[in-house]
Amino acid sequence: MGELLSPERAAARGVPVVHLPDYLHGDPETRVAFIETLGGGLEALGFVAVTGHGIDEALLARAYAVTRQLFALPLGVKALHETPEDGRQRGYTSFGVEHAKDQHMPDLKEFWHVGRELPPEHRLTRSGAIPRNHFPEELPAFREVALQLFDAMERFAMALLDAVGEYLGLRDGFFRNLTRDGNSVLRLIHYPDMGEGSLQGAVRAAAHEDINLLTVLPASTRPGLELLTRDGSWMPVQTPPNVMVCDTGDMMALLTGGQLPATTHRVVNPDDSDGGRYSMPFFLHPHPNRPLAPFTGEDQKPVLARDFLRRRLQEIGVA
């Protein structure tokens, strides 16, 4: 099981810690230090911890409370909001459906996706490129809280991407143009208590890399997150409530020619019953029609973000 790491101990273990106000409001020297620590940490380890993220702790608490209520709904209610036709990009995904890429044993989790809310007449909504959200009428508080958290997490993630862009020497606004009206998603996850429907040999989340550009993860309700270091060892990562853990995904690795890699990570099973685990990662995605290709000069045919995503959704069993 993962252990609780303070920012100081996390830094000592190799997970760099940065303070977002240093970038947003610091003097030039402080901003440069932030950019170098953030980018260097993502390059060397794939993970960083961020303090001063500005997301209201009360909002995070409300989101976790409503998430518990969401997954406590009857299975028949949740199943009404499962959408295999769009690769389960929105709404509910039932327990035992998703598995890690190149794995056949399913993960021990159920989850709910909330994405960008666009007007019904928007071309991305009409085309299905940005799927419609699903909010069960049995839990009216869910919609407001989830969309508030989506917006807050996106603002935070975009500030980090601005700094990443500076680290990479990209033109100003590169990532904002890439992600405008993007297919980003807030994933609310429930890992049931290990006494509830466990599968022999399965784990809560098998070793995998994220699909997207950047992932933002508030502190979960239980330990368990581990990342694979460059020397091949597993490092437990569990931060205090006021810290966000961030990592880069396969789309970022593609764009940077591997300079910012997608780091393998997993969620391990507890040693004993823990009452279940809840987590709320936010996955920042490009606009579905944006072509993705290395900006490092490599000769590689671009792939549309939506096609990259669809292929990966098929590989993990949800599409």
Has residue 168 been placed in a domain? yes
Distance CA(182)–CA(161), nearest Å, equals: 14
Has residue 145 been placed in a domain? yes
All residues at 6 or more sequence positions from 236 whose CB lies less than 8 Å from its CB, including other chains: 1, 2, 3, 5, 223, 225, 226
> Which amino acid is it at 30?
T
Note whether 296 and 168 are within 8 A (CB). no
State the CATH number of the domain containing residue 256: 2.60.120.330
Has residue 275 been placed in a domain? yes
**pTM (predicted TM-score):** 0.93
Residues 83-117 have pLDDT tens digits of: 999 999 999 999 999 999 988 899 999 999 999 99
Residues 140-182 have pLDDT tens digits of: 999 999 999 999 999 999 999 999 999 999 999 999 999 999 9
The number of folded domains in the chain is 1
Alpha-carbon distances of 168 from 35, 40, 47, 131, 157, rounded to whole Å: 10, 10, 16, 32, 16
Has residue 111 been placed in a domain? yes
Domain around 123: 7-315
Mean pLDDT rounded to a whole number for the chain? 91
Cα–Cα nearest to 160, from 13, 292, 8, 282: 282
Q: Model confidence at 242, in pLDDT bands (50, 70, 90)?
A: confident
Checking if the pLDDT of 288 tops 70, the result is yes
Residues 291-317 have pLDDT tens digits of: 999 987 667 789 999 999 999 999 999
pLDDT for the residue numbered 58: 96
Has residue 2 been placed in a domain? no
Has residue 1 been placed in a domain? no
